[in-house]
Structure 1
C-alpha cells in the first residue's frame, strides 16, 4: 500500500495523544478525552491521501496503489482538492471526501433577522410565523430495536450475527441520512433568507439525561443544525 495513509495515521495518533494529555492537564476545554484506542474492524474505517497520492482525471479519481475509481459525484468540485479521505462506514458503504478551498458568497437576504425556537414535535418555530416539522423516525427506530433484540440472541462471531449487525447499521444510516437531508435543506433556506439568525443556546448534553425524552432529543439533531447554520453563515 501507499506510504501516505500510513504517515497520516501516525499524525492522527499523535494528535489523539496530544488531546488526551492536554485533557488530563486541563489545557483542553470541553469534555474529558479518553486514551486512544485501536479501531475495530466492525466500525467505520478511513484512509487519507494528500497531494501526490491521488489525482482527479475526468469522471474518475486515481488513488495510489489502487488505480482509478469512478465514484458517483454529489456535486462538481469548486477547486483543486488538497486531500481525499476514503471512508468505509459500518454498513460497508464507501465514500470519497475531498478537502477544497471555497470562496465566500455574498447573498442579498430579504429578511433583516429571524429568531428560531427548537422543539421536538415541531422542529423549528420561526419568529415570522413559519414552522418546520422534522421527518418521522418512528418506523425506522422500531425496526432498529427489533433487529437489536435479534442481535442479542445470536451467537457471537457467527455469520448470522454479522449479517444482522450490517442490517442494523443500514437502518441507522437511513435515519442519519434522512435527518441530514432535512437539516441541510432547512439550514440553507434559513441562511439564504435572513441576514441575522438568533438561536436559543440549549444544553443538549444535559437534556439528553432525561430518560423519557433522550431518544427523541437525540434524533432531532439540534446541535447539528446549529453547526450547519454557523458554517453556512460564514460561507
Structure 2
C-alpha cells in the first residue's frame, strides 16, 4: 500500500515497489535498477538466479499500468555495466511504451556509449531539474541552491527492531533537510544502513507496505 507524502508543496506517492509517483508531474521516479548486474556476475562465474531483469521490469510495467505516467525519471545506475543480452531484453520491453519519456540521470555504472541509450529511447543527463526539484545520482551533503534534491546510489536501508529484540534491515525512502535518497529499485542490490537524525522523515518498505519509521 502506498503512502502519499506531502512534501516541498508536492504530492509524492511512496510505493512498496521501491519507486515514487510524483503526482503533479505524472512522473515515476526510481533509481538503481542495475540491469545487467546478474549477467555481469554470471560471466564472472558467480551463480545468480535467472529472471531477475524480467521480474524488475515486470514490476515497473505494473506501475506504468497503474499510474499511467507521462515520464519516468531514473536517478542513476540503470544499467550495471556494458551492453549485454539484458540490454537487448530492455529494448524489447521498451517497445511497449514508446509514448513514455524516459530520462536517465547517469550514475557511475552507466558507462555504455551514448548512441546505445539513444537507440533504446533513453534521454541521458548528468543532472536533471524539473520544476525546481533536482535529480543527481550521488547524494548531496547540503543545500545546493535547488528547491530540493533527490539522489540514489547508496541503496539506503535502516534497522528496525521488534518487541522480541529481533532486528531487520529494510530498504527505505529518506528525506533529509535538503536532499532525499531513493531505495534501489533493482532487487539484486545490497543495502547501506542509514542513521538519520530524529527530525528527518524515513519511510520503510516492509513487504507490500510503507511504514513511517520517524
TM-score range, shorter chain: under 0.3
Larger Rg: 1
Q: Where is the helix percentage greater, Structure 1 or Structure 2?
A: 1
Q: Where is the strand percentage greater, Structure 1 or Structure 2?
A: 2
After TM superposition, the score normalised by the length of structure 1 is 0.20
RCO greater where, 1 or 2, for CA within 8 Å and sep 6 or more? 2
After TM superposition, the score normalised by the length of structure 2 is 0.21
